[in-house]
Structure 1
Amino acid sequence: MQVNLTRVDQDFHFEATGAAGVTINIDGSPQIGGHEAGARPMELLLMGLGGCSAIDIIQILKKQRQQIDSFNIKVDAARMEGQVPSLFESIHIHFILGGPLDEEKVRKAIDLSLDKYCSVAAILYKTATITHSFEVNPSKLQA
């Protein structure tokens, strides 16, 4: 796996490109001179956690013939204050799925992802406590 980063300005803005050619903007916080021109590196880790777990969950639920009409994820995290590096110490992921889903299958898919399959979670577990919750909103029938 390889990614490439190219500096865009004279401060902290970079364009990162992965193997598929998709570009993501990365920037530092305004406190250090960034310009809000991209996601911060620690935000990208949380996005990676959400994306990694979502892919696992969708794969598992598809194999169980579960219909997912919508899927949102909210990730909240706290970092170790006053330390360098300032690692994540706690992360909470809230999954919001819509559709005619079996809640027990959703629960099991989330557990399997976060405890067994998600590589990003496996890395973050080394410094952070990761908790999760979920809700299932059945699809509304159209009249």
Structure 2
Amino acid sequence: MKFSMTENGFQTETQFGSLDISANDEYGFRPYQLMVSSVAVCSGGVLRKVLDKMRMPAEDITVEVKDVYRNPDEASRIERIELHFLIKGDINEAKMPRVMELTRKNCSMVRSVEGSIEVKETYEIIH
């Protein structure tokens, strides 16, 4: 990837179009939003795959970012991300602790921030 400076931040071209990134959310995605999005969507995608492999395919998964704690004394560093998964489908509740364990273990973004950012996951099953 190549990022080019713009008047208000940086821009890159992707196969899906241009991506604008700026410290000012009037001009593009803020870097922390992209970091949080990466963790959330990676987790959701892995959760979906784990449920499929356990023969409990989800009809729908929504990932809510409930909280992001940024430390103002450390350059607004992200210290905690709280994710809540809303899972619709015929899901065996007894298997969910293992599902969540495998999701965490196999999400490359969560693994990449391990020891640096606390990622807390909760879930709710909607029938």
TM-score class, shorter:
0.7 to 0.9
Match of 2:7 among 3, 7, 10: 10
TM-score by length of 1: 0.76
| 1:107–1:36 Cα change, 3 Å | farther
Report the counterpart of residue 98 of structure 2 in structure 1: 108
User: Does the CA-based 8 Å contact 1:24-1:38 persist in structure 2?
Assistant: no
| 1:41–1:107 Cα change, 3 Å | same
Report the counterpart of residue 89 of structure 2 in structure 1: 99
Moved over 6 A (4+): none
Query: 1:27 Cα deviation (Å)?
Result: 3.0
Report the counterpart of residue 59 of structure 1 in structure 2: 49
1:35-70 per-residue CA deviation (whole Å, 9 max, x = no partner) reads 523221111111111111112111111112113111
Structure label with greater radius of gyration: 1
User: How many residues align structurally?
Assistant: 126
Relative contact order: is structure 1 or structure 2 higher (C-alpha 8 Å, sep ≥ 6)? 2
Structure 2 residue runs without a partner (length 5+): none
Considering fraction of residues, name the structure with more strand: 2
> What is the RMSD computed on CA atoms of the aligned residues?
2.0
Report the counterpart of residue 81 of structure 1 in structure 2: 72
TM-score by length of 2: 0.84
1:57-98 per-residue CA deviation (whole Å, 9 max, x = no partner) reads 1111111211311110012211111223x3211111101011
Q: What does 1:4-43 correspond to in 2, within 5 Å?
A: 4-7=2-5, 9-17=6-14, 21-23=15-17, 25-29=19-23, 34=24, 36-43=26-33
Identical counterparts, % of pairs: 21
Structure 1 residue runs without a partner (length 5+): 139-143
